[in-house]
Chain A
Amino acid sequence: MMTALSTKSEDKKAPVVVSGDDDIPLYEARRQIYPQSVHGRFRTIKWVLLGITLGIYYLLPFVRWDRGPDAPNQAVLIDFPARRFYFFFLEIWPQEFYYVAGLLILSALILFLMNAVAGRVWCGYLCPQTVWTDLFMAVERLIEGDRRERMISDAAPWTMEKVAHKTLKHSVWLLIAWWTGGAWVLYFADAPTLVVELATFQAPAMAYMSIAVLTFTTYALAGHMREQVCTYMCPWPRIQAALTDEYALNVTYLYDRGEPRGSVKKAAVLREKGLPAGDCVDCGQCVAVCPTGVDIRHGLQLPCIQCGLCIDACNTVMHKIGRPGNLITYESEANLEARAAGKPFVQRILRPRTILYGVLIALVSGLMLTALIGRSTEGVAAIHDRNPLFVRLSSGAIRNAYTIRLINKKLEERTFILSVEGVPDASLEVIGDNADGLTIGPDQTREVRVLVTTGDKLPPAASLPVTFRIRDKASGLSASVTDHFIGP
């Protein structure tokens, strides 16, 4: 079986723009795809996933999570003005962005693992482009009818009914698109408040602009661009092709069972004569239901998002003609070849590739979990004065000045004791406050200027390591940072 990784549709009538003399097609015209409705196992899985993912997206901003009086009570909130990211029990400060980086690495590894086990699961079931396109297609089907009605209507001249249908369809699309943009901005501010502000035109201009942009992108990508996004714009199909192997399960047409294709009658005649006859009746249902318009019988190909809808369509037909199902099914190339060569069934879910991904996922998850459990609720940072590096006082004593930032990540006010270690006979002074009781508000930081003074007993050109330690008066939790004390 030849694998055709072609971006081309396989339709012989695909029109192309042809340049003058050389007769070379320069630009490929868009071929309108009219996916037919389909019922079956994979369609049901897709509907359920669509409900879950969109439900999470649209409703999550309204979920509440009590954090006390000093923090917002929204479960998931990206608070840009306050530079905080809230995710249920988690609160992340900007300098802890590595948690998000870890999450992205984890997502990529899970994506690779999914791909190694069962091909483009992400593309077919979970990708926002697929989910929203599915939703938009459902609306289209509801208003304009199924594949055949839409094809006839599009080819027919404009009538009042056609205008009405098209207007209604685009209005509903825009409504969904607007709601999509609206839900997006709710992740960046208190959702119930923002909803009221948006409705009474008191929300910030940025909120309206973000909604407008996302309304446009959702409407354009899910309503109009559709499979063009997967075929021309998305990098994942290209990367995916490089990451897959012969053991990955992919939506595959079992050509050894299907060919030679022909009508039911012809197949029956052939079978009577004891000649080989395939199960494929060439009904074209697999192509008709395909959201990207490919013919799965040509093998694994780039525009195929492996949503499994052709499996549903083919199984329906196979059931009707009384042949066994799964002529199109999740199958690995290795197994397909083994069967063609008369060798036994091959399935290798556990192989170096998947084990490596699994180990990496466990490793990254473990690291992130360790970092999360060990996350300290207090911190201290020091910057030594750059100029002057040291000051000689009139008594001859040497003084160094530092800018010290104390960090309180707890949602309560705390008082810290600041101390200094490493410099002999050091005295510590905090400008405008007392080192024995530095109060920091809940979930805040505080910057103080600190002077460390010692006598004139330092050796020439001394540079001593100096440690600043803060200790919570109430809990005893402490943090420290090391810098240098510089002498003349």
Chain B
Amino acid sequence: MSTTNDTHGKVDQATGVSTTGHEWDGISELNNPLPRWWLWVWYACIVWAIGYWILYPAWPLVSSATPGLLGWHSRSAVAMQIADLNAIRSESAAKLANASLEQIEQTPTLLSLARAQGRVAFADNCAPCHGAGGGGATGFPNLNDDDWLWGGSLEQIQTTIEHGIRANDPDTRQGSMPAFGKDGILQKPEISAVADYVRTLSGIAKPGADFAKGKEVFEGNCAACHGEDGKGNQEMGAPNLTDGIWLYGSDKATIEYGVTNGRGNVMPAWHARLDPTTIKALTVYVHSLGGGR
């Protein structure tokens, strides 16, 4: 009983819709034309696209792209956004810059601010050697533990970051383990004896037959830096040999290698690369990892 708009003369009886007149095996194609404004929207999209090509970077060239009349550039857009972000952060950044390290640690808002900024700076600059989270690796100290070569107070950590260790900086931390074996100061049996002796200091090994000889060698050569009791000296970066933490390893061969060839890893000085506030944030972050003194 449906009627329809009879534009083509043929009407499908079941639906009441006109057909295109095309028929295949008795199946005729219904004609449900799109509204005409749909076509205009499509034309408008084309016009929009042409405008976009002219105004914005669009067509790829050999090494760049057409620049567009507006001069819009994704790099400058990002630079602007970063500038906006820094403007928003300037107030809190100023607070961080003006507060002392102790004040930052004692004020919860400043502490979380410094930790957030320090975490990012650490990931960008320190993580390649010290590992994400400061877990360290062989030869690169773990910053989470309570064992510090050059001191774990806020000020000591800040100095280390600013001037580095054995770095190309006049105020850098100096002092390295001499190559006792290579330079002919100690002979192989002496090195073997002192290595055994050192392992007894932290209780890894029991005193053996060469204990007296090792003790003698230690007192004559090592105690100047590591101390009579082997507890080390942070002024010179001499590690504590009596605790359970070993930067290179605690097996005899590793210790013998260290005594023979010396040790002297380098940490860069950061004061020329990072601004003082970032170094402050890094100091607090490292100090708050858990080992800080």
Within 8 A of B (CB), among A252-301: 255, 298-299
Q: Does B249 contact A (CB under 8 A)?
A: no
Within the complex, the shortest CB–CB distance from B136 to chain A, in Å, comes to 7
Whether the Cβ atoms of A28 and B35 lie closer than 8 Å is yes
Interface size on B, as a range, is 35 or more
Query: Within 8 Å of chain A (Cβ to Cβ): is B244?
Result: yes
Q: Say if the beta carbon of A377 comes within 8 Å of chain B.
A: no
B17/A6 in contact, CB under 8 A? yes
Give per-residue flags for A1-24: 1 if the beta carbon is below 8 A from chain B beta carbons, else 0: 110111111111010111000111
Closest to A403 in B: B115
Residues on B lying within 8 angstroms of A by beta carbon are 1-8, 15-18, 20-21, 31-39, 105-106, 108, 111-112, 115, 131-136, 142, 144-147, 240, 243-245, 288-291
Residues of A within 8 A of B39 (CB): 27
User: Given contacts A446-B108, A449-B288, is CB(A30)–CB(B4) below 8 Å?
Assistant: no
Interfacial chain B residues near A24, Cβ < 8 Å: 8, 20-21, 31
Does more than half of chain A's interface fall in helix, strand or loop, or is it mixed? loop
* A394-B136 contact, Cβ under 8 Å, with A27-B33, A27-B34, A232-B35: no
CB neighbours (8 Å) of B147 from chain A are 393-394
A432 to B135 Cα, complex, angstroms: 21
Q: How far is the CB of A231 from chain B (nearest CB, A)?
A: 8
Q: Contact check, A392 vs B36: say whether CB atoms are below 8 A apart.
A: no
Q: What 0/1 pattern do residues 407 to 433 of A give for CB contact below 8 A with B?
A: 000000000000000000000010111
Chain A positions 427-457 with a Cβ under 8 Å from a chain B Cβ:
429, 431-433, 439, 446-447, 449, 451
Interfacial chain B residues near A399, Cβ < 8 Å: 144-145, 290
Is the Cβ of B1 less than 8 Å from the Cβ of A392?
Answer: no
B166 to chain A, nearest CB (A): 23
List chain A residues, Cβ under 8 A from B37.
Answer: 30, 228
Chain A residue total in the interface (Cβ 8 A): 50
- With A24-B20, A27-B39, A386-B132 already in contact, the answer to whether A10 and B145 are too (CB < 8 A) is no
Q: By the criterion CB–CB under 8 Å, are A394 and B8 in contact?
A: no
Contacts of A395 in B (CB 8 A): 146, 243-244
Q: Closest residue to A225 on the B side, CB-wise?
A: B37
CA distance A396 to B8 in the complex (A): 92
Distance, CA A401 to CA B290, complexed state (A)? 8
| Contacting pair A232 B38 (CB below 8 A) | yes
Residue on A nearest B243 in the bound complex, by CB: A394
Which 5 residue pairs across A and B have the least CB separation, nearest first? A388-B135, A394-B243, A387-B133, A27-B36, A4-B2
A391/B131 in contact, CB under 8 A: no
- The reply to whether the CB of A51 lies closer than 8 angstroms to some CB of chain B is no
Instruction: Fill in one digit per residue for A219-253: 1 if any B CB lies within 8 Å of its CB, else 0.
Output: 00000000010001000000000000000000000
The smallest beta-carbon distance between A225 and chain B, in angstroms, is: 8
Q: Please, how many angstroms separate the alpha-carbon atoms of A299 and B15 in the complex?
A: 12
Q: Contacts A228-B35, A394-B240: A388 and B108 contacting too (C-beta < 8 A)? A: no
* CB-nearest residue of chain A to B37: A30
Residue ID in chain A nearest B9 by CB atoms:
A23
8 new A-B contacts at CB < 8 Å, known A401-B144, A432-B108 = A1-B1, A10-B5, A12-B3, A24-B31, A28-B36, A298-B2, A385-B144, A395-B146
> Out of B15, B105, B288, which one reaches A6, CB within 8 Å?
B15
Query: Which chain B residues lie closer than 8 Å to A29 at the CB level?
Result: 36
